[in-house]
Every structure is written in C-alpha cells, then in structure tokens.
Amino acid sequence: MKRLIMATLVAAILPLASCTKEQDTSTVEDFDLSRYLGEWYEIARYDHSFEDGMDNTMARYILQDDGKVVVLNTGWKDGKFKLAEGKAIYPDPQDKLGSLRVSFFLFFYSDYNVMLVDENYQISLVGSKSENYLWILSRTPVPDQELLNVILAEAESRGYDTSKLIWVDQSRNIAALD
C-alpha cells in the first residue's frame, strides 16, 4: 500500500516538471462531462512508474452530488488485482472544456486533458501539460479500428511519438465480457 501511495504521489508531481518538447495539449472544444462518466478501458499509454507492469487496466468516473468525480483506477499486476481511488474536479468548465484536475493523494492534483473524444464518447485521447503522459481510452477493451486510427493520427499531429505507446493487454477484461 505504501508503494501505491508513493507511486501516486510521484505521478501527481511529475507533470509539474517542464517539458522539453512542444506538444499540443489543448482540450476538446465541446466536452460533456456527463457523457464522459462511466467505464473506460486503457488501450495504450506512455510508460510511467505508477502503472508499471499493469495490464487489464480500467478507469471508472462517477459524479458525486458535490460536483466532484470519484476516479477508480483498476488493473492487474503480477496476478494481483489493484485499485487506486482518487478524485477529479472540473475547475473551469466554462473556459477550459475537457480540462480536469485529478488527485490520488491528498491535495496533489495533476492535469487530465481530454484532447479528443469521438462524437459518441466511445474513444478518447488524454494527456497532461507534460509530454510524458498520454493515454488512449475506449469504452470497449477492443476499440473500433477506424476510431483508433483517428486517435493515433491526432496524437501524432499534436507532436506525440506514438511508437512509445505501450499497448495494454485487455485479455482478462475481454474474457469477462464473454
């Protein structure tokens, strides 16, 4: 548990480091938080310590009465189920659509930028202010290939190196759906 807390703390602090390469981390112009809520499967990500060795990773976003969002990240590592519970706030839904702040430890928040989401909210591209973070999320463990191609092209057009993506094994989640 101490290791999970430390990893979460590091994850919260790392995006504060300055970027050496310019990337477009702007958020979507039209974002509906209520449509974004629910389960998302992690299809691909940049490598980082707090998810090192994890597979079958998912995130669930649940709106609370106070406007905050509970974030439940789950996955498997070394055959063991892992859960990290956090919270997200939507600091400026009027001017910064798709820009959330997420915390898994005390008051340390990191940027969560929804940079692209398809019109049906089936796949999304998420990053932060740092070039070191990038995720592709999907409502299904095996996304539609055309939508995935759109997401990959968007990431590349924004200056991200998609060859650095780690493709997440979702076989356990696929089997659970059968």
pLDDT tens for each residue of the chain, 178 residues long: 444 333 443 444 444 444 445 788 888 888 999 999 999 999 999 998 889 999 999 999 999 998 889 999 999 999 999 999 999 887 766 667 788 878 888 778 788 889 999 999 999 999 988 888 999 999 999 999 999 999 999 999 999 999 999 999 999 988 888 7
Does residue 86 lie in a domain region?
A: yes
What pLDDT sits at residue 131?
82
Answer yes or no: is 17 within a domain: no
Maximum pairwise Cα distance, the chain: 44
Q: Is residue 19 part of a domain?
A: no
Report CA-CA distances (Å) from 77 to 53, 54, 80, 85, 178. Answer: 6, 5, 5, 16, 22
Tokens of 153: 């092209």
Q: Give burial (CB, 10 Å; 0-12/13-18/19+) of 89.
A: middle
Q: Would you say residue 168 lies in a domain? A: yes
Instruction: For residue 111, give its domain range.
Output: 2-10+24-177
How many distinct structural domains can be found in the chain?
Answer: 1
DSSP 8-state secondary structure symbol assigned to residue 159: T
Cβ–Cβ contacts within 10 Å for residue 174, how many? 14
Q: Is residue 35 part of a domain?
A: yes
Domain of 122: which CATH number?
2.40.128.20
Using CA atoms, how far apart are residues 175 and 32, in angstroms rounded to an integer? 31
Confidence at residue 77, expressed as pLDDT on a 0 to 100 scale: 95
Q: Is 18 among the domain residues?
A: no
